[in-house]
């Protein structure tokens, strides 16, 4: 639940915490609250509420999990940067791999870490990213350095002979992510088209874009890709499927 932004917030680094596990949120809040230059202005448990809170509270930093109910952390990151380019975002994940890093940083994150990051490290990361730096592990970049690192990472993941590496590891649009969620439920293009009230060809076009952005060959690989990285939560997929059966 978001809180009102305190009047003394201008003297501190203000932080919004987003995670659906209350225990983890409480732990982060306690860690940050011990620092004199930090102020936790709000906590949220899902992506949609995080966006509302960020617009209301205008925090300097958002620390959020990628695996969120409903709108995932990559979607939240993309929208936060669209709303306010200067906001700094730390993405945390329990589903860490090299491709997840590329997706997070291309979505607009300022820093990326697995959720087992040391508290002392996270504190210093927050201080650095509000100064305009980008951090992945022990690497610190300015904006030009980050672009070079991302280009090298995408080339390494896709191969040096890829026709246009810039088309891969690009954030999925809201519609593409919505379609991908339906794909994880085993729905066909025709079923998705009926569900969304769009044409079959439009769904096919979106699927082509999704496969290219994820650098996978088919819809099954795309579904596995999303589930393994926590973009779509298995429990959400199961609950939706149960609703469909009713």
Domain count for the chain: 2
180 and 138 assigned to the same domain: no
CATH of residue 135's domain is 3.40.50.2300
Give me the pLDDT at residue 58, please. Answer: 95
CA atoms within 13 A on the CB side of 196: 24
Average pLDDT over residues 101-107: 93
Domain, as residue range, for 129? 9-150
Tell whether the model's pLDDT for residue 129 goes beyond 50: yes
Tell whether the model's pLDDT for residue 55 goes beyond 90: yes
Quote the CA–CA distance of 178 and 161 in Å, as a whole number.
Answer: 31
Tell whether the model's pLDDT for residue 238 goes beyond 80: no
The pair of three-digit structure tokens given for residue 213, joined into one six-digit string: 């952005």
Q: Is 211 exposed, middle or buried (0-12, 13-18, 19+ CB in 10 A)?
A: middle
122 and 231 assigned to the same domain: no
53 and 121 assigned to the same domain: yes
Global confidence as pTM? 0.81
Tell whether the model's pLDDT for residue 220 goes beyond 60: yes
Give me the pLDDT at residue 213, please. Answer: 87
Beta bridge pairs of residue 62? 16, 89
Does residue 160 fall inside a structural domain?
no
Give me the pLDDT at residue 236, please. Answer: 56
pLDDT band at 158; cut points 50, 70, 90: confident
Residue with tokens 């650095």: 128
Most confident of 45-49, 158-162, 229-233: 45-49
Does residue 201 fall inside a structural domain?
yes
Average pLDDT over residues 174-191: 91
CATH of residue 195's domain is 1.10.10.10
| Contact assessment for residue 136 and residue 111, using Cβ atoms and an 8 Å cutoff | yes
28 and 128 assigned to the same domain: yes
Quote the CA–CA distance of 231 and 215 in Å, as a whole number.
Answer: 16
Does residue 118 fall inside a structural domain?
yes
101 and 204 assigned to the same domain: no
* End-to-end CA separation in angstroms for the chain: 32
Quote the CA–CA distance of 216 and 174 in Å, as a whole number.
Answer: 19
Give me the pLDDT at residue 244, please. Answer: 46
Give me the pLDDT at residue 239, please. Answer: 45
Q: Is 213 exposed, middle or buried (0-12, 13-18, 19+ CB in 10 A)?
A: buried
Q: Comparing C-alpha atoms, which of 201, 33, 225 is closest to residue 126?
A: 33
Q: Is 201 exposed, middle or buried (0-12, 13-18, 19+ CB in 10 A)?
A: exposed
């Amino acid at each position: 639940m978001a809180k009102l932004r305190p009047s003394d917030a201008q003297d501190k680094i203000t932080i919004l915490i987003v995670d659906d596990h209350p225990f983890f949120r409480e732990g982060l809040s306690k860690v940050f609250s011990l620092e004199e230059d930090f102020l936790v202005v709000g906590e949220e448990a899902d992506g949609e509420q995080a966006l509302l809170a960020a617009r209301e509270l205008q925090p300097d930093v958002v620390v959020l999990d990628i695996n969120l109910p409903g709108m995932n952390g990559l979607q939240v990151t993309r929208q936060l940067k669209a709303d306010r380019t200067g906001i700094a975002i730390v993405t945390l994940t329990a589903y860490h791999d090299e491709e997840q890093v590329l997706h997070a940083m291309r979505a607009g994150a300022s820093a990326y870490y697995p959720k087992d990051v040391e508290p002392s490290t996270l504190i210093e990361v927050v201080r650095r990213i509000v100064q305009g730096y980008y951090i992945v592990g022990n690497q610190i970049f300015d904006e030009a350095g980050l672009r070079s690192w991302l280009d090298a990472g995408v080339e390494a993941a896709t191969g040096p002979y890829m026709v246009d590496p810039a088309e891969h590891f690009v954030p999925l649009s809201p519609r593409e992510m919505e379609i991908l969620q339906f794909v994880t439920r085993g729905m066909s293009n025709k079923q998705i088209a009926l569900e969304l009230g769009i044409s079959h060809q439009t769904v096919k076009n979106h699927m082509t874009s999704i496969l290219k952005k994820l650098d996978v060959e088919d819809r099954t690989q795309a579904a596995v890709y999303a589930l393994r990285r926590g973009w779509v939560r298995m429990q959400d997929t199961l609950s939706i499927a149960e609703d469909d059966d009713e």
